[in-house]
Amino acid sequence: GKALVPIFLLASRPPSTAFSATTMSAQRLSEFYPTVFKELPSMEGKTVAITGTSRGLGYVTALALAKKGARLFLLNRPSARAQEALVELAAASSSGVPPQLIECDNLSFESVRNAAATLREATETSGLDVLCCNAGIMMQPDRASTDGYDITISTNVLSHFLLTREMMPNLRRAAALRGEARIVTMSSGSGFGAPAFNARFYAPGSGGNCGGDQASYERYHQSKLANLLFTSSLHDKLRKEHDSSQGHIKALACTPGLCGTDMFLHVSSTKGRPADLSTVPSVEDGACAMLKCICSPEIESGELWGPPGMEGAPVKIRWQPIVLADEQSKVRLWEACEGAVGAFEL
């Protein structure tokens, strides 16, 4: 596995924002985050792993959890920004245990397996209380990952499916020790509605042959629908195997609504106009549903949380009729993921 990066090996740098880009205006003040953060319980004694924490929603979520006392593992592609974020999150941590960075590139199944091996070893005794599958990309070219799959599908879906499978023993360990563990998957309102799940986007070797650049949004929709299908199917499977004496693993999904992340900046740039951050909620507000799914004691397995529309305080969202999560689609998604990374049996 890849070695963890000790915080003391990184030079201290001034804090930076969760994103940076040329924009028309400053980000809006957070409207809901202050209240949501205040109401979150302490996370002391809890271990949380999050993918994609260098910027945006993952960074804001990790920062909140650091302040709440969680022990953090940050799964990121190697970059200067990942190291800067590690320093900033360590400075904010109230747990006394510095966060640890694990190299994880969702465009390579080998990298994900190595990251999982490192994370398993590091949390063998404590267990893993929360695995947060957050990393994501949007509106990307029709290109192949290292393993021959579409880069959006690999990043958003397949690598998280693989990571979840690899971390199940440690999630079970935390559930047995402390009564529960959680798998939280970041989806999007882009996954709502039609078209239904299409397995052709998951065919081996299909990367670079998934509709061209003009189908970039369709690939993103398919990936975000898959996140929802995965959570719903995982909830069903976990419920069947539930043994109260061994604790309970909750499968949860969330959406951020529209907010001023790098994705918003990227989509704005593809339309040939600078982003106006004053027109959308802050990244902090976009992270509220994910934070509730990670921390809030009242959250139940199988739930979907997010703003009631494009923005707003997080609420529980009804799956039907907006999510096309019929049984056949759930089975086909699970089979497609297993075809890419191997069997995931519960």
- Series of mean pLDDT values for 10-residue runs along the chain (346 residues): 36 34 68 96 98 95 97 97 97 93 98 98 98 96 98 98 98 96 96 97 97 96 98 96 81 84 52 65 92 97 94 94 97 98 96
Determine the residue type at 22.
T
Whole-prediction pTM: 0.90
The whole-angstrom separation of Cα 200 and Cα 221 is: 14
Provide the pLDDT for residue 11.
29
- Residue 26: per-residue pLDDT: 77
pLDDT at 272 (0 to 100) = 61
Alpha-carbon distance of 18 to 264, in angstroms, equals 13
Closest CA to 74 of 16, 17, 132: 132
Res 309: pLDDT: 84
φ/ψ of residue 331, rounded to 5? -65, -45
Cα–Cα distance, 115 to 3 (Å, whole number)? 9
Q: Is 71 helix (H, G, I), strand (E, B) or coil?
A: strand
pLDDT score for 324: 97
Q: Is 341 helix (H, G, I), strand (E, B) or coil?
A: helix
> What's residue 308's pLDDT?
92
